Structure 1
Amino acid sequence: MHNRRQVLTPDALEMMDTIERTGSFAAAARELGKVPSALTYSVRQLEDALDVLLFDRSSRQARLTAAGEELLREGRHLLAQIDAVANRVQRVASGWETQLTLAIDGVISQGPVFDLVEAFYALQPPTRLKVRHEVLSGTWEALASGHADLALGVGAARSDNPDIRVELLGEMAFCFVVAPHHPLASLPEPLPATELMRHRVIAVADTTRNLEGLTVGILPGQDVLTLPSLRDKQEALRRGLGCGHMPQYLVQSDLATGSLVRKAVDQPQRVASLNLAWRHKGREPGKALQWWLEHLRHPATRTALLSNAPVCA
């Protein structure tokens, strides 16, 4: 019996496709520039290797059996994939990365990120995108450890890694909010730290695995409910399960509808400087990273990522 991999080749699949499309061995042979006997021999080799009948011999037409139909269906998929791989390899050779991984901090607005992803895919690049959602130190760690190529929302610029470049993305304002039925909602402002300490604060867990995790806005001895994402924190705040700071853009609709109440606290307003950072490894970035850096340097894009405005890419 012939080795299946030796006979189940792209040429054999092309032959099957031509026979089915033209309707006969003779017509297929003319199109492929072969004699009909050579085509018949190739089909028998394929049938012997697979131990199945691919064509119904009782018909004068080249009629596929059920096994032949399945081989042709899967074969067409394989041929399309081979073409796609060849095209991808050609484009990668022209400077496109095979994959680009983005580490995006939870405070970055998701809508504008998807606007950018959509615009990137409109180029039909050969680069595959992978997005990681991180929080606080986890965003930097994903980049520094080599698990990401580009990070959005890095909270503090680090200079201890020569393979990473950092640029200011912009500033994000936070506000202190509680549910309207929370005990702090009815107290006079500004709320002192001594009063805040008596109430549970809601925090989002730092996603770092090896670095020391950060905590922001938690007072010594204060009860803490730690959740995995800002969206979870937002829901917990609406339910009155605690208090805490949130990005202003994220709670605008809650404040407008009364689902949350903004309260002044006896502390300076929290404004975070957020950065974008990327790995450069001493050489020019690939075309995919270049595209992202170019678009992330647009002032309108930076504003959108920090405020949920739409991106005009």
Structure 2
Amino acid sequence: MQSNTTSLEQWRILQAVVDHGGYAQAAEQLQKSQSTLSYSLRRLQDSLGVELLEIQGRRAVLTAAGESLLRQARRLLDDAQALENTAQVMAQGWEAEVILNVDVITPKRLVLDALRQFERDHPEIRLEIIESALSGTQDAIVHNQADVVLAGIAPPGFLGTSICPVEMHCIAHRDHPLSQLDEISELDLRGYRQIVVRDSGSYRRINSGWLGAEKRWTVNDFNHSVELVSLGLGFAWVPLDRITSQLNSGELKKLPLVQGANRHIDIKVFFPRRESTGPAARYLGDLLVQNLPGTE
């Protein structure tokens, strides 16, 4: 097996000389002598048989070959740094991967804010993000299928931290017959199609919403639900944050139900593995609490 004739340290020195504009500046940044840097780069060029730098005035400038090779070397240096960061994190007891299960009713924008912060702080930790609905979210808690779970319906015996109230409203298109009524009873709903989101659970299914509609279409998520309602194909209970623009434009209308027109669901964060939950999962949970103070 052929051994490498260059080292990461040599490429790191080349990068510093180029990025800082010369040997003196690079030596100061790396806390090495200029002679050490010069010797290292001479060895690098001799090993490769390629001139990487040329002096123009008082500056060391990359040759065409040097520019191409340094571009590849930067990726190697970034990968090496990421490898060292991951090793340091693991040495401190942090997990290499965190699984986050999110109930589909959770406001996406606010979750993404927490994920962006997590990525900035710990880019070396892998994340697996799973969406679930109704009993599927409970399954994730009860059967330890995730490290962190955001759920609206807590299974018995599990305590979570409240982070976000979600408003669910019964809505229909403005031209739908239900939208023409001043007051709507369960009897009125019975004759129209309800669009519902499928329960993703595998063990015990949960029925949520009014179940009196003879006509029913089932979809995988609220985006499909809103699309069908926007086409006038039925009514549905949908989180308020998913339909704000359509309500403001008048495309969709909140239905004036006698009762149950809107519901408030408290999203909570759970750590299913409890005492064995790692620091990375705990940190992500803390970010979710901080970034989900409430809906707008």
TM-score by length of 1: 0.69
SS in 1 for 2:110: helix
Deviations 1:68-94 (A, max 9, x none): 765443233212321232133223423
Which amino acid counterpart does residue 207 of structure 1 have in structure 2? S
> Residues 252-271 of structure 1: matches in 2 within 5 Å?
252-269=244-261, 270-271=263-264
1:289 paired residue number: 281
> Residues 123-134 of structure 1: matches in 2 within 5 Å?
123=121, 126-134=124-132
> Residues 146 and 267 from structure 1, CA distance in 2 versus in 1: closer, same or farther, beyond 3 angstroms?
same
**Correspondence for 1:78 among 70, 76, 79:** 76
Deviation at 1:236, TM superposition (A): 1.7
> Residues 85-96 of structure 1: matches in 2 within 5 Å?
85-96=83-94
1:182 paired residue number: 176
For the 8 Å contact 1:153–1:276, the answer to whether it is kept is yes
**Correspondence for 2:166 among 152, 166, 172:** 172
Between Structure 1 and Structure 2, whose CA radius of gyration is higher? 1
2:28 paired residue number: none
Deviation at 1:241, TM superposition (A): 0.9
Distance 1:227 1:236 in 2: 9
1:114 equivalent to 2:127? Answer: no
For the 8 Å contact 1:175–1:246, the answer to whether it is kept is yes
> Residues 225 and 34 from structure 1, CA distance in 2 versus in 1: closer, same or farther, beyond 3 angstroms?
same
Distance 2:65 2:197 in 1: 55
Which amino acid counterpart does residue 190 of structure 1 have in structure 2? I
Deviation at 1:260, TM superposition (A): 1.5
SS in 2 for 1:101: strand
**Correspondence for 1:272 among 261, 265, 273:** 265
> Residues 274 and 30 from structure 1, CA distance in 2 versus in 1: closer, same or farther, beyond 3 angstroms?
closer
1:242 equivalent to 2:242? Answer: no
**Correspondence for 1:223 among 204, 211, 215:** 215
For the 8 Å contact 2:166–2:264, the answer to whether it is kept is yes
Deviation at 1:226, TM superposition (A): 2.0
2:197 paired residue number: 204
Which amino acid counterpart does residue 261 of structure 1 have in structure 2? K
2:98 paired residue number: 100
> Residues 109 and 8 from structure 1, CA distance in 2 versus in 1: closer, same or farther, beyond 3 angstroms?
same
SS in 2 for 1:282: helix
Question: Please, which runs of 5 or more residues in structure 2 have no aligned partner?
Answer: 24-33, 55-60
> Residues 155 and 76 from structure 1, CA distance in 2 versus in 1: closer, same or farther, beyond 3 angstroms?
same
Distance 2:248 2:12 in 1: 63
Deviation at 1:224, TM superposition (A): 1.8
Distance 1:235 1:16 in 2: 55
SS in 1 for 2:243: helix
For the 8 Å contact 1:156–1:274, the answer to whether it is kept is no
> Residues 224 and 65 from structure 1, CA distance in 2 versus in 1: closer, same or farther, beyond 3 angstroms?
same
Distance 1:295 1:14 in 2: 35
For the 8 Å contact 2:163–2:268, the answer to whether it is kept is yes
Which amino acid counterpart does residue 195 of structure 2 have in structure 1? I
> Residues 145 and 65 from structure 1, CA distance in 2 versus in 1: closer, same or farther, beyond 3 angstroms?
farther
Deviations 1:34-68 (A, max 9, x none): 799xx76x877x66xxxxx6459xx9xxx999877
For the 8 Å contact 1:201–1:224, the answer to whether it is kept is yes
Question: Please, which runs of 5 or more residues in structure 1 have no aligned partner?
Answer: 23-28, 48-52
- Aligned Cα RMSD in Å? 4.0
For the 8 Å contact 2:164–2:293, the answer to whether it is kept is yes
SS in 2 for 1:155: coil
Aligned residues: 279
> Residues 14 and 225 from structure 1, CA distance in 2 versus in 1: closer, same or farther, beyond 3 angstroms?
same
Distance 1:251 1:72 in 2: 49
For the 8 Å contact 2:230–2:252, the answer to whether it is kept is yes
> Residues 263 and 276 from structure 1, CA distance in 2 versus in 1: closer, same or farther, beyond 3 angstroms?
same
Which amino acid counterpart does residue 76 of structure 2 have in structure 1? L
